[in-house]
Structure 1
Amino acid sequence: MGEVSGLLFEGQPVAVCRKRCKRVILHVRAGGEIWVSAPRGVSRRRIAEILAERRDWLLAAVETQRARAPKPKRVCEGESFRLAGRALALRFAGGEICAVGDELLVPPGTELSALRAWYVARAQVLFAERVALWAAAIGVTPGRVRAKEQRSRFGSCGIHGDINLCWRLVMEERALVDSVVIHELCHLLERNHSPAFWAQVARFDPQHRAHRAQLNKQSALWDW
Structure 2
Amino acid sequence: MIRSQRATADIVIERDGSVVVRAPEWADDDQVARIVRSKEYWIYKTLAEWRDLNAAAVLREYKNGAAFLYLGRAYRLSLVDGQDAPLQLKNGRFLLRRELVAAGDARLAKLAFQDFFRAKGRLRLGDRVRYYAPKVGVEPLGVEVKELGHRWASCSPGGKLHFHWKCMMAPQTVIDYIVVHELCHLHHRDHGDAFWNEVDKVLPDFRERKEWLRRQGAALEV
> What is residue 199 of structure 2 aligned with on the other side?
201
Q: Does the CA contact (< 8 Å) of 2:147 and 2:164 recur in 1?
A: yes
Q: Does the CA contact (< 8 Å) of 1:18 and 1:37 recur in 2?
A: no
> What is residue 104 of structure 2 aligned with on the other side?
none
Letter of the 2:190 partner, please give it: N
- Please give the alpha-carbon distance, in whole angstroms, between the structure 2 residues aligned to 1:28 and 1:199: 22
Cα displacement string for residues 111-142 of structure 1 (whole angstroms, at most 9, x for unaligned residues) = 32122211221112211111111113333210
**TM-score, normalised by the number of residues in structure 2:** 0.72
Q: How many residues align?
A: 194
Q: Does the CA contact (< 8 Å) of 2:58 and 2:218 recur in 1?
A: no
> What is residue 81 of structure 1 aligned with on the other side?
68
For residue 42 of structure 1, report the CA deviation from its aligned partner: 4.8
> What is residue 127 of structure 1 aligned with on the other side?
125
Letter of the 1:167 partner, please give it: W
Q: 1:36 aligns with which of 2, 14, 19?
A: 19
Farther off after superposition, 89-98 or 202-211: 89-98
Alignment of 1:97-136 (within 5 A): 97-110=87-100, 111-136=109-134
Query: Does 2:202 match 1:212?
Result: no
Q: Pick closer, same or farther for the CA change 1:118–1:205 going to 2, 3 Å.
A: same
- Please give the alpha-carbon distance, in whole angstroms, between the structure 1 residues aligned to 2:51 and 2:198: 39
- Please give the alpha-carbon distance, in whole angstroms, between the structure 2 residues aligned to 1:66 and 1:169: 17
Cα displacement string for residues 81-129 of structure 1 (whole angstroms, at most 9, x for unaligned residues) = 1001100100123433222343111222133212221122111221111
Q: 1:186 aligns with which of 181, 184, 187?
A: 184
Q: Does the CA contact (< 8 Å) of 1:124 and 1:146 recur in 2?
A: yes
Identity among equivalent positions (%) equals: 27
Letter of the 1:223 partner, please give it: E
Letter of the 1:130 partner, please give it: R
Q: Does the CA contact (< 8 Å) of 1:189 and 1:197 recur in 2?
A: yes
Q: Does the CA contact (< 8 Å) of 2:145 and 2:162 recur in 1?
A: yes
Letter of the 2:118 partner, please give it: V
Letter of the 1:38 partner, please give it: V
- Please give the alpha-carbon distance, in whole angstroms, between the structure 2 residues aligned to 1:163 and 1:28: 18
Letter of the 2:92 partner, please give it: D
- Please give the alpha-carbon distance, in whole angstroms, between the structure 2 residues aligned to 1:223 and 1:177: 15
Letter of the 1:219 partner, please give it: G
Ranges in structure 1 where 5+ consecutive residues have no aligned partner: 1-15
Q: Secondary structure at the match of 1:182?
A: helix
Q: Does the CA contact (< 8 Å) of 2:69 and 2:220 recur in 1?
A: no
Letter of the 2:56 partner, please give it: R
By relative contact order (CA 8 Å, sep 6+), the higher-ranking structure is: 2
- Please give the alpha-carbon distance, in whole angstroms, between the structure 2 residues aligned to 1:173 and 1:148: 19
Q: Does the CA contact (< 8 Å) of 1:88 and 1:102 recur in 2?
A: yes
Q: Does the CA contact (< 8 Å) of 1:74 and 1:112 recur in 2?
A: no
> What is residue 103 of structure 2 aligned with on the other side?
none
Ranges in structure 2 where 5+ consecutive residues have no aligned partner: 101-108
Query: Does 2:58 match 1:70?
Result: yes
